[in-house]
Structures are given as structure tokens and as C-alpha cells.
Amino acid sequence: MSNDPNLLFFRDEYTNAEMASRIRTKDFRTDSHQHVESILEKAGLSHDVILENRKSDFLSKIKGRVDSEEYRSFLKDMFEQFGEKGDRVNLQFYRVDGLSYQSLVNKLEAEQEPEPEPEALADGGGSQYSSLISDYQTHEDSIVDIQFELTDHPDDFELTDEGFVVDNDGNRVDLSELDLDLDDYQRFVQTNEYTIEVRAYTDADLIAISNSKASNKLQKAIYQSVKRWGNASANNDGFHLRETELLLIQNLFDGENSGLDYGGFLDKNLKTAKYRGDRHETLSRSEVLTPARERGQITQVRFYHRYNDGTNTRLVQVRVYRDAHISTSKPTRPDFVNGVKDHIVTALDNREYLKPYDELIDEFIDARSRDQLYDGEAAYRSNKMQAFSSLVDQYIADDTYDESESQVYEAVIANIGIKLAQLDLDDSQYPTVSQANDRPQRENDLKEFFEDYCDYELHSTLPDFDQLWRHLEHVINRRHQSPVDIIETAEQDYAL
């Protein structure tokens, strides 16, 4: 039992305080509840004690009148029926290539031999970390959970009498100017012991590592060690989720957006922009956010997800960052992390359809600008954004997505359209589409986009837009529950 913020996959029990805090007061006050009535009878207390006191007070009265085992049994019974199960998620995901389940398990079994030698982590830096695998467990021959008991030795810096820290590079840091709390200060001046958890998805080539307490250097050291133990390739593709991939993950969780962070602005004087709002607000279509959307890229999404832990359903705020850092505001169980893994895999599997149209424009805008000197780039980008946005409004049922996810549909439609433009759509292997049911509202902008991409990027014959539109509408003009449905329809009908 532990309050360790890195505890998630190895959670087996809860402390009395944890259970009490995760049961709502109203659940104790349920009329004639057998567990409550039984413990009150043993404690010699009336039901009024529950009704007239705060939770902490009436639990204290009960605890003082029964033995410790009876009190714990009461809390466990109540917790099983009403309590919030799980732990807050704070994980960093990493990609690997060719992680072997059997090699990893064999290594862990060897480390569990009597008195194993601790293995130094390959952190590649001056810090000295010793590690010990304290436990591991496997699931479904594809998931490996590892728990590390780590000791962080402060050997790579020196605390002077004047209150300065001097690191190995000779840099001097004045702790008094850093406004450190006690925990942060102790991290500099004493050896720290804590646990780190890892979940390795060998079937998905993903590793999730506890993000609380551990430095980036230590996380990467553990990542490199697990990768080595599993005989994964020394190469790695890095991890960078595009804004459309972040929003697709939100869509697949059926999330209600509550915040967006932007970065990567065309104007290098702008660094970040953050927007927060009620989950029922149309945040991404607001005039306040439009400049950021037109000139920057989403680096974080926040959304509310309805999570069921097997006992009750609750709204959990989920935060997904561009570097694949995931955190939640309320407890969830490991099945939630499995869902994150599944949605990341879906996003990565469909990357070729998720390239934002702004990136598509980047591929040809310079060549187009040289050819058409007096046509402003900013206006061009804005007009094309509005054209694809209006197409989503026209064809995608608004009850299937949060309005902030419009960009995912816009990107999917743009990328499918580019692929269709490269096909001989008269070929008998493709559907026969004699006419479209409707015309796009901003037809000229869409026509110009596809023609410009084919001309300046693909250097191919300009598409017959009427024909292209008929087939593109054939793909999008049906009931879809997610952008992935549109992709699957296009792949099935056009062998993309």
C-alpha cells in the first residue's frame, strides 16, 4: 500500500485514508445500507452521526469504537461498492522498433535470481543511478510491466556553504533564487529513493514510463535499458504527434475538448498560446483562437472522457501532449492506458491520411509563390482552411465529433482527395459515380488546392475536378462515426 505517485500498474491495495478519500460522503449516507448499519451497530452509534458530521469526523468516531480490522473491513466493503478505483496517470510514451517479448521476459527472469547484481542504467550522462528491478508481471504474452526501485545519488553536483550548487560542468546554481519547496531542495542535497513503473507493449512497439519524480535523463535511461533488454533496434523514429493525431486521439476517446495549447508559430516572435474553456464551448471556432489556428500548431489537447472503473462512471480530464506525454486529473485503471496505447497506434497507422492541410500547403507554396508573385500566402492559407472547414460542416454529422476535431476530418478529406487525384478514376476497378448529390460550398478554393498540389508538388496532370469531386463525395457523404471510418471507406473502395 502506497501513496507513491508512480504507482499504477502494480497497485494491489489501498490505505484506509486512500479508500476513505475515494468514497463520496453521500454514499455513506445511503438509507439502510447494510455495511454502514452494521459498523454503526458495532460502534454503538446512531445513523445521525453519519448525517450530522463531516465524513472525516464520523469516520473518526467509528474508527475509535471498533478494532482496526473491523474498521478496515468496513472501508474495503464500501470502497468495493462505491470507491474510485485506480490512480492518476502521468506517463511518457516512447516508440521502439522490434521489441521482443520473450527476450525482455528472459532478462527480467534473470534479474529475479537470488541477489541479482543491480544494473547501471545507460543514461549517457554524468549522473550515477543505480537500479533494481523490484517486480515484474506479464499480460497476454504481449505486455510486460516492470517496477524499479531507484536510488538517485547526488554525486554529480556539489552544495557549497554559500547555498550554491555546482554541477560537473562547473555551472553554479543559487538554490535560494529557485523558490524550491522542501522536496525539491532535498532532491539536490540528499539521496532519494523512489519507484518507477514501466509498461512495455511488445505488440505495438511502445513503452510507457512513469513521469512523476523521474528526470527526463532518468526516463530516457530506463527507456534505453528496456529497449536493450528486449533486443529492440538501436534506431528509433522519435515521437512527435501532429495536431491532427492529438485530435484523433481525443475523437477516439469520445472526448469533450476543454483546452488547446499552440506552438510552432510562423511568426518566430510568438512562442506559445493557451486556450481554456468549458467543455460545452465551441472553443476552436472562436474568433479569439482563429489567429493561433491559422498561424500555429496544436501542441497539447485537453478533453473530458467518461471513464468507467467497473464501479461508477466519472468525467476525467485527459491531457495529451505532442511528445506523447499523457496525464489525467482523476484516477483510472490500467485499462485506460491500454486505450491510450490503442489510440496512439491507430493514429500512427493512419499517419499518411493525417498530414494537416497546412503541411500539405507547405510542400508547394514556395513554388506557387514564385509562379504567382502577387497572390498573398496568408490569404491563400486562410481561404483553403475555410474551404475544408465548410466541407466538414456540410457533410459530417455534428453529433459524431467535438467541434475542435474538425481539423482531423479536414486533413483526412484533403489527403484522400490528393490520393484520388492520382488515380485513373475511369478505371472499372473503381466505383462508378455518375453524379454528385451536392456541390461544395467553396468549390473554387477546393479546386485550386487540388490543382496546385498536383501541379507544384506532384508535377502531374491537373485533375478533372468534377470527376474528383464526385468520387470524393462518394467517400465522405455517408454516416461515419470517426475519421478512421472515412479512411477505411476510401481504402476499401479505391484500394488505396
Query: pLDDT category, 293, cuts 50, 70, 90?
Result: low
On whether the CB atoms of residues 9 and 208 are closer than 8 A, the answer is no
Closest by Cα among 90, 108, 51 to 336: 90
Residue 441 has pLDDT above 50, yes or no: yes
Cβ contacts of 231-234, under 8 Å, gap ≥ 24: 231/98, 231/99, 231/100, 231/103, 232/96, 232/97, 232/98, 232/99, 232/100, 232/205, 233/96, 233/97, 233/98
Residues 6+ apart with CB under 8 A from 205: 95, 96, 97, 98, 99, 232
On whether the CB atoms of residues 170 and 160 are closer than 8 A, the answer is no
Closest by Cα among 254, 257, 228, 226 to 243: 257
Look at residue 282 in the predicted model and tell me its pLDDT: 56
Q: How many CB atoms lie within 10 A of CB 259?
A: 17
Look at residue 328 in the predicted model and tell me its pLDDT: 95
Residue 496 has pLDDT above 70, yes or no: yes
Burial class (CB in 10 A: 0-12, 13-18, 19+), 489: middle
Query: Where is pLDDT greater, at 370 or 197?
Result: 197
The lowest-confidence range among 76-90, 167-181, 441-455, 464-478 is: 167-181
Residue 30 has pLDDT above 90, yes or no: no
The rounded mean pLDDT for the chain is 84
What's the whole-number mean pLDDT along residues 439-452?
A: 94
Query: pLDDT category, 450, cuts 50, 70, 90?
Result: very high
What's the whole-number mean pLDDT along residues 341-353?
A: 97
The lowest-confidence range among 136-140, 366-370, 436-440 is: 366-370
Look at residue 234 in the predicted model and tell me its pLDDT: 76
Query: Where is pLDDT greater, at 23 or 259?
Result: 23
Quote the Cα angle for 86-89-92, to 5°. 145
What's the whole-number mean pLDDT along residues 130-153?
A: 85
Cα dihedral across residues 166, 168, 171, 177: positive or negative: negative
Residues 6+ apart with CB under 8 A from 465: 443, 446, 447, 450, 451
Query: pLDDT category, 398, cuts 50, 70, 90?
Result: confident
What's the whole-number mean pLDDT along residues 325-330?
A: 94
The lowest-confidence range among 110-124, 310-324, 348-362 is: 110-124
Query: pLDDT category, 12, cuts 50, 70, 90?
Result: confident
The lowest-confidence range among 108-112, 224-228, 443-447 is: 108-112
Q: How many CA atoms lie within 13 A of 211 on its CB side?
A: 16
Query: Where is pLDDT greater, at 356 or 175?
Result: 356
Which of 104-118, 125-139, 250-264 reaches the highest mean pLDDT? 250-264
The percentage of residues in the chain with a pLDDT greater than 70, rounded to a whole number, is 80
SS3 for the chain, per residue?
CCCCCCCCCCCCCCCHHHHHHCCCHHHHCCCCCHHHHHHHHHHCCCCHHHHHCCHHHHHHHHHCCCCHHHHHHHHHHHHHHHCCCCECCEEEEEECCCCCHHHHHHHHHHHCCCCCCCCCCCCCCCCEEEEEEEEEEEECCCEEEEEEEEEEECCCEEECCCCEEEECCCCEEEHHHCCCCHHHHHHHHCCEEEEEEEEEECCCCEEEEECCCCCHHHHHHHHHHHHHHCCCCCCCCCCCCCHHHHHHHHHHCCCEEEEEEEECCCCCCCCCEEEECCCCCCHHHCCCCHHHHHHCEEEEEEEEEEEECCCCEEEEEEEEECCCEEEECCCECHHHHHHHHHHHHHHHHCHHHCCCHHHHHHCCHHHHHHHCCCCCHHHHHHHHHHHHHHHHHHHCCCCCCCHHHHHHHHHHHHHHHHHHHCCCCCCCCCCCCCCCCCCCCCHHHHHHHHHHHHHHHCCCCCCCHHHHHHHHHHHHCCCCCCHHHHHHHHHHHHCC
Query: pLDDT category, 125, cuts 50, 70, 90?
Result: very low
Span 151-205, pLDDT tens digits: 765 554 444 554 455 544 555 555 555 565 656 655 555 666 778 999 999 999 9
Which grid cell is 414? Answer: 484533403
The percentage of residues in the chain with a pLDDT greater than 90, rounded to a whole number, is 57
The lowest-confidence range among 57-61, 86-90, 352-356, 370-374 is: 370-374
Burial class (CB in 10 A: 0-12, 13-18, 19+), 34: exposed
Span 32-50, pLDDT tens digits: 789 999 999 999 999 999 9
On whether the CB atoms of residues 294 and 383 are closer than 8 A, the answer is no
On whether the CB atoms of residues 494 and 420 are closer than 8 A, the answer is yes
What's the whole-number mean pLDDT along residues 349-377?
A: 88
How would you classify residue 261: left for phi > 0, otherwise alpha for psi between -120 and 50, otherwise beta?
A: beta
Strand partners, 263: 297
